Structures are given as structure tokens and as C-alpha cells.
Amino acid sequence: MTTAESKPEAPPKRPRRERKESGFVAFRTALTAWLSRPLASFHLVLALTGVLTVIGIVMVLSASSVASYNPKTGSGVYSLFVKHLVFVALGSVVFWLGLRVKLERIRRMSATATVICLGLLVLVLTPLGSTVNGSQGWFKIGEFTFQPVEAAKVALAFWGAHILVIKYNVIHQWRHLLVPVVPIALLMFALVMLQPDLGGTVTLAVVLLALLWFAGAPKRLFGVILAGGLAGVLVLALIAPYRLARVMSFLSPDADTTAEGFQANQAKLALADGGFLGKGLGQGTSNWGYLPNVQNDFIFALIGEELGLIGCVVVLVLFGGVAVVGLRIATRNIDPWIRIVSGTLTVFLVAQAGINIGYVVGLLPVTGVTLPLISYGGTSLVITMLIMGVLANAARHEPEAVAALRTQGPGKFGRLLRLPAPDPYRPPATRKGAGRPGAKAARPAPRAARPAPAQERRRSVREPVRRSAARTSTATSRGGAARTTASRGTRSTANRRGHR
């Protein structure tokens, strides 16, 4: 008789929920492993810059085609788009320079750059400057324009971080914390408000607040600054009729939909028309004159109309990634100047994007701030790409990245971009305890340790002499007594021997 062979039992199938959980765990493990690589921050900055720039190129092409066409001047539908490509090319060169130039050299040049920017802010108020959209804040060079306030923001971040790092040990004192960074910043505010440019003033204030925050300023200072800022905004709004009209249109957007509230209402309508998936690229109606300056300040409304809620969420996620990566670079560096600069530039970029998106969706008053890397080119695009290049340079100065680049070579992007190996951070040589990364800030000396008057100093000089003389006499007397005792002991021993 033959017996049938028993088949092996099949393993039990795992539940679908368990498989999903295991897949999520595997994805999280792989993502954590990738983020732990030495150059992860550097690659993330490159990716975010590239994706946001490509989105900007596509959206500017869709937004500017109608506004570019002008049969009187002979400009075609691609004239603004070609200019934007020129600015992207120039920004790519500036991005490479910010990535390749040593950060120590940028820090040394920060004071000179700040002085130059102050001079340009003064010159733009003279007949050399040009007025665009009611603000005399531009230099016109042929068909191109340059806005000095954009460069002043970056110069203030570099120079302010340099000063605050130098004064780290005395930064707890108000006069060292505020001078000279705050007076120079206030001078920039005044020059920009004379143009007038409320959006540039607001972003400059963001740079100043971020500098003080990452430098470790006391929190009560920010309360004072914010209170003074709100009072200043109120005064500026009351003394200028057009600013007051903007504020009133923000408070009651439906009161006048044809004057000051026209752009804000049209932006909301464009977002509503887009729905969830959008109308498709090039199918929006905002670029046909229904929304003025759609390629500049209100390009996020066109994104919502043509790409829908999904496109808006993608843009928000990308800027959220800029915030996470920038703060990651700031926390992973040990050079205090790089930490302050990385944090300040990151907060500046994300805050500018937040302000732009905020007034497009109706959460903030209209201030005329561009959406970084996405709005139509110009000085803002070039300066933003410089900032991203500096952030990528700072990412290569993380301790793990420095060790990997100096031992394993520059890598693919390093060889392609011809990037030099970064130098490891060396703290400056200072007095004992002042240059250590974990050293506490110096505090005022206690009363007992402060310099004494002249009479007390003379007494303090004479006292050690008296004490040394006393110790010498004591030692001499002890030595004489010891010799006397020794001689007595010798005599007694000799007498005992003689008796024996």
C-alpha cells in the first residue's frame, strides 16, 4: 500500500493592516537612514531650489503671456517669459557663487556689503532712482531694474550675525545687544519707508527679529519690539491715505470691490474657480487682465486656479520643506555665525512666502511681497537664489558633511560644480573659557572682584610682602629652635656616652 505524501502547510497570511504597518515602518526606516547621511541637507536644498524654480518658470509662462503682448511696442507673448529665463540664468550663477565662495570670506565682506547697501538706499531716493508702482525704490539699467532693498536684507543678515557673534560674551548687556545692529536696521527702515515700500520694511523687520532670536536675545525684548512695530504700523497707516485704504479694505473686503479691494477679491475668486484639481495649465482667466500683476504678487492665486487645491498644497509643502531643512542646517552646525545666518535666512524666506500667501487668501493686508522663486524674476529672484546657495554652502559645513567630504571626496555634485572641500570649524583663540562652544556668557564681576581704589591696591600689594616676611621669620625661628633642639640632643647623647 502506498501512503499519500502530506503537503506542507502554507504559512498563515498576515492581515492587511499588519502589512500596511510593516510597509510604513520600512518606509520610515529608509527615510531615517537617508536623512542620517552626511550630505542629506545639501541634497535637499538643491532639490527644493530646483523644484520651486521649475514651478516658477511654468507658472510665469502661463501668467505673463497675455500681459507680454503689446502690438504698440512690438513685444510678443514671450517677452516677459524670456526676461524671467534671463533672471533664472543669472540667479543660477549667483547660486553657484553662494555655494562655492567660502563662508569666512562672506563674513569678512559683510560690513562692506552693508555700507554699500546703505549708500544704494540713499541714492535710490535721488533722481538716479526710478518710480515703479508708486515706490521710488528701483534703479533702471536699460530694460532691467534693480531693487537695493532686496540686497540690503541679506547684507543685514550677514553683518548682524557677525556683530552678534563677536559680542556673544557680553550680549546679555542691552547696549551690546542693541548697538550697532538695531540702529543700522532702523536707518534701513527709515530709508525704505521714504520710498515708500511697506513690504520691504516688513521683511527687513523679520530679518532683524530673526537675528536677535537666534542670537539668544531675552524674550521681553521681542515684546517691546512688537509693540513698537504695531504702533509704527498704525502711525504709518494713518498718515498715508493709500495705506489706510488698504487696511480698511482688508477689514471690510466687500465694501468696495472695484478700488482697493479689487485685487484681493479677484484672487479669492480665482482660488474658488480652481476647485480641487484646477482648470489646467494655461486655462485660467486671471491672466487675461482680471487680476493685475498676477505674474508678480498674486501668482499663488493663479496656481490655485490652474492647479487647484493640490497645486497649492504642493507649494505649501515645498516651503515647509525649506523651513525644516534650513532649521536643520542651523541646528547641525557648530559655527555660531553659520547657525545664526542659516536660521535668519530660513525664517526670512518662509516668512516672505507666508506673507504673500496670506494676503492672497485674505488673511493679511496686501503689502506687495513676491513669492520666493515662483514670482516673476528680478532682484527678488536673484537674491533668493543667492540665499539658497548660501544655505547649501552651510549644509556642506555640517561636521559630518565636512568629515565625509574631506575623507571620501567631493561627490558627484561637488565634482560637477567644482566645489572645494570645506574646512572644519576652529573656534577663535580667546581667553580661558571664552571660546569654548559650551562656555557661558561672561557676567559682570561681583563687588569683591572689582578693581579696588588706589589705597586698597597699595595695601593689597604691601600685604603679601608682610606675609612673606612673617613666614620667613617664622621659618627662621623654627629653624633656630630645631637647631637648638638638635644640639641639645647631641650634647645629651655625648654625655650619656661619656658616662658609659
Q: pLDDT tens digits for the chain (500 residues)?
A: 444 455 556 556 656 666 556 777 887 888 888 888 999 999 999 999 999 999 999 999 998 888 787 777 667 788 889 999 999 999 999 999 999 999 999 999 999 999 999 999 999 999 998 888 788 889 988 778 899 999 999 999 999 999 999 988 888 788 888 889 999 999 999 999 898 888 899 999 999 999 999 998 888 888 888 888 888 777 777 777 777 777 777 777 666 666 667 888 888 889 998 889 899 888 888 888 788 888 888 999 999 999 999 999 999 999 999 999 999 999 999 999 999 999 999 999 999 999 999 999 988 888 889 999 999 978 999 999 999 999 999 999 999 999 999 998 888 888 888 898 898 888 876 555 444 444 443 333 333 443 444 444 444 434 444 444 444 444 444 444 444 444 444 444 444 444 43
| Residue 300 grid coordinates | 499663488
pLDDT of residue 420: 87
Measured in residues, the chain has a length of 500
DSSP 139-199: EEETTEEE-HHHHHHHHHHHHHHHHHHHTGGGTTSHHHHHTTHHHHHHHHHHHHHTTT-HH
Contact call for residues 173 and 223 (beta carbons, < 8 A): no
Rounded to an integer, what distance in angstroms lies between the CA atom of residue 102 and that of residue 162?
15
Instruction: HSE, CB side, 13 Å, CA atoms: give it for residue 188.
Output: 32
H or E segment to which residue 420 belongs: none
pLDDT of residue 480: 47
SS (H, E, C) 111-127: HHHHHHHHHHHHHCCCC
> Cell 548660501 belongs to which residue?
390
Neighbours of 183 (CB within 10 A): 10
Q: Which amino acid is at 184?
A: I
pLDDT of residue 22: 72
Instruction: HSE, CB side, 13 Å, CA atoms: give it for residue 366.
Output: 24
CA torsion sign for 152, 154, 155, 160 is positive
pLDDT of residue 405: 92
